[in-house]
A and B are shown apart, each in its own frame.
Chain A
Amino acid sequence: MTLTRPVVVGAGVDRVDGPLKVAGAAAYSSDITLPGMVHVALVRSTIAAGRITRLDTGAAEQLPGVLAVLSHHNAPRLAAGPTNNLGPTPPPPLQDDRIRHHGQYLAAVVAEKPYQAAAAARAVTVEYERTEPVLRIEDPAGELRTDPFGMDATRGDAAGALAAAEVVHEATYVTAENTNNPLGLFATVAQWSGGRLTVHDATQWTSNTCQTLAQMFEVPESAVRVYAKYVGGAFGSGLRVWPHVVLAVLAARTVGRPVKLVLSRPEMFTGIGHRPNTVQQLRIGAARDGGFVAIEHEALQTVAMDDENLEPVAASSASAYACPNVATRDRQRRLNIPCPGSMRAPGEAQANFALESAIDELSYLLDMDPLDLRLRNYAQVQPQFGLPWSSKALRECYQVGAERFGWSRRDRRIGAMRDGRWLVGYGMAGVSYLWWQVHCEARATIGSDGTGYVRSAATDIGTGTYTVMRQLSAELLGLELDQVRFDLGDSNLPWSPQAGGSGLTGALGNAVHAACRELIRTFLRTVVNDSASPLRGCTIDDVAVSGGRIHHRADGKLGESFVAILARHGLDELTADGVSDPPDPQEVGMAPAGAFAAKFVEVHVDPDLGLLRVPRIVSVVDGGRILNEKLARSQIIGATVGGVGQAILEETVTDPRTGRIANANLGDYLVAVNADIGEIDVTFVGEPDQLTPLGTKGVGEVGLPGTAAAVANAVYHATGKRIRSLPITIDDLLG
């Protein structure tokens, strides 16, 4: 049967969860109300390091509606959560008197009404013994972790090649701390009932939340059910089981009633991760003809006390370009800061800014067009493994992007292009995104009415999983879209990995592919000896599916419907499971490729006021097979908007004396608004990836990196000012 290359790509399929969302009827965890539900408010530390000397909850406990106040005095000891492919669970809350960061949870108040809980939280008094916090990335008082991911890469002799190189560019690049700030306030609703726990959460990974809570509260995983039917954005902040989730579960157990805990916007800055700031040294050596002879990339980032965060920064530079001598080094400085975590394109967002800025700088030293320089050093094979890529159309990204953008109209002289009083700059960057794929499971059923039901514990955080998996299921089962239901967001469904790392569509899509294929096999087994069936004796390779029927591949008339098979055999339904696992690159003889992209950006700079505008961005993406071009395009648009934020707006500012985040609200922490965004042009190129039956590569993150570098490169082209720190602000441009 022809399931190995499904042609399900639909440019025009609208989001299947869209009608609910535009009607305000999609229930996010903060919208869930249970009978008898009470509310939790949090008390947070107002110092960044030290210990609690006194925590008085007496006044709070007397306030109207208050049911309980949890603190390190009365909270039970909790087991540590598991370590998974992203690292350990963040430290459980309320376990001791130690302060690790400003904003750390010190107490949780449970009350009948949310405002009663909030009022009582403010009535909890805390006294501290303050010690000097370590807050700056340069501070040698903070522990320095070397090669924290075991991903430092070397090939050849980078130092030797740099010493001998004809042209060397060396510079330090700095990226600010950014905060995910999904618009949906993270909320957890928790209910214990007879030893069973039900949780509605804003998470990107129900299977992990289930497993973690089971382990921490020492109950079987089968007693825990985690729902995340709709998530109001996350961008990586929902990948871990944060302390507030644990507190909600603990509070529910303590008061014996369902509880709801909704983080406030300021709490969203300290409790659910952030993109760590970095300081990066880049050294690139080249021959006069532009050929790279050496790349050295050293990146220092921040990490919290008692925590780990998987955020390879420099590591990605090892595979971006053909270059014989490479050394990458990642380091982490441990500080008294809230836990960093993944934020859309973790590591790559920061690394790409440094690498692609450095290449732009080198192009001026070589007097080469920056696009030509990138093509000159194109990695035709994966340079670290020496294997052919499973797919790579980055060259086409560059070519199509240059055409659509009008790169040839670029006057190479600095400051030569103008639009009235505005200086105009053109800049570009390349993106080679890392590959990420993990185990995933799915289950498929066809019922006696002929409709399909496919499901997995996965989440749809706005990425379109509900939609593309329904499309895919319909295609693979030969049904119409409205004859298939795809369910997700429930840990009781087959195990799914995180909606993260741009890996879910591939992992889940291949699991759905396997489940649907196995389901067709199950139907064929059912009729294998059935003399009444025209499919008797057929194997899966003999048949195809369409119109609710299985039929001979060669003769569409020779077959029968799912309904007929089920009815004749007295079955209500047939069900099959499918799993997908990442292939071993060595075994398949290919280097797994992530998505590739080229970014072309036009900026306008007001030379007198330092105003910076980004009226036009062209993105060309090789994302392998695109399952739904409309939704994939939205992913690229959205990530590009996030990239504009990183480039010119977003900076989480920590008071260097107290460790308090000084702009922990959406009025002072600037994210891109509608007026900041101009024309965003998106094109997909390339072929289905060779590594998996589905051929997707994942496009959730690739749209973000490259944006900041292309903006910075365009700013240099417009103004001659090389800005090596993000975000690029008015004072940078007036300085």
Chain B
Amino acid sequence: MSQDSRNARAAQPAAGDAGTVRVTLTVNGADHELLIDSRVTLLDALRDELALTGTKKGCDQGACGACTVLVDGRRVLSCLTLAAQCDRRQVATIEGLSSDGRLHPLQEAFLRHDGFQCGYCTPGQIMSAVALLHEGRTGSDDEIREFMSGNICRCGAYPNIVAAIREVARQGAR
């Protein structure tokens, strides 16, 4: 037997034996009771269980930021967060950002400054930016760049993303 087949066998998973858990997620203000596999990530719970597909999966390894959501107001990578960790916590996603059909100022600023192209990283960028404003990390362009660097934009819209965040931060300061 070759080395490769031994590795493949050793990697056999123990599927289905971890049990299910009951989790109450409060997403954008609404409670959702879920009975899910204990290993389900917050990202998969949002997308597959709650059909909230605005939150994107770009790597599933915590490296790209596309899945950024807020949990109790702090930005987290939902692909590296188990849904079970979020029981009875406040989860905010892109779908909850606009109210009464009116876009959030950051959404408007991203639109105006063309802070995206394909749009796939955009929900994560915007959720990160929402947190950034609260974190007070918008003092300079360099600071915005640094603290937005967990969110990859492969289309390369970074200068426009910085411009959008800068504008909203300044409006807020007035």
Contacts and interface: CB of A to CB of B under 8 A. Distances in A.
A588 to B, nearest CB: 33
Interface stretch (A143-151, A225-233, A578-586): A225-233
Contacts of A23: 54, 94-95, 97-98, 103, 107
Interface string B94-131: 11011000010001101110101111111100100000
Interface string B136-174: 000000101110111111111111111000000000000
Nearest to B148: A674
Interface string A256-280: 0000001011000000000000000
Interface string A29-42: 01101000000000
A388 B155 CA distance: 34
Contacts of A265: 58-61, 63-64
A533 to B, nearest CB: 42
A265 B58 CA distance: 7
Interface string A107-136: 000000011100110111111101000000
Interface residues of A, number: 77
B118 A19 contact: no
Contact of A119 (B7, B15, B116): B15
Interface string B19-41: 00000000000000000010110
A21 B61 contact: no
A30 B55 CA distance: 11
Contact of A15 (B1, B9, B114): B114
A185 B47 CA distance: 14
A640 interface: yes
Contacts of B95: 23-25
A114 B118 contact: no
A28 interface: yes
Chain B interface bracket (under 10, 10 to 19, 20 to 34, 35 or more): 35 or more
Contacts, number: 217
B7 A46 contact: yes
Contacts of A130: 2
A232 B120 contact: yes
A523 to B, nearest CB: 35
Interface stretch (A552-560, A593-601, A665-673): A665-673
B152 A673 contact: yes
Contacts of A87: none
A17 B145 contact: no
A64 B15 contact: yes
A641 B158 contact: yes
Chain A to chain B: the 3 pairs with minimum beta-carbon distance, closest first: A24-B54, A641-B156, A462-B118
30 contacts: A17-B119, A20-B119, A22-B103, A22-B119, A23-B103, A24-B56, A24-B95, A25-B95, A28-B56, A30-B56, A59-B12, A115-B15, A115-B39, A119-B15, A120-B15, A122-B11, A183-B152, A183-B155, A184-B118, A232-B118, A464-B117, A635-B117, A637-B158, A638-B156, A640-B156, A666-B61, A671-B152, A673-B152, A677-B145, A679-B159
Given A18-B111, A637-B158, 17 more contacts: A14-B114, A22-B107, A23-B94, A23-B95, A24-B54, A24-B122, A27-B53, A30-B56, A116-B16, A125-B5, A125-B8, A183-B120, A230-B119, A233-B117, A265-B63, A633-B114, A641-B156
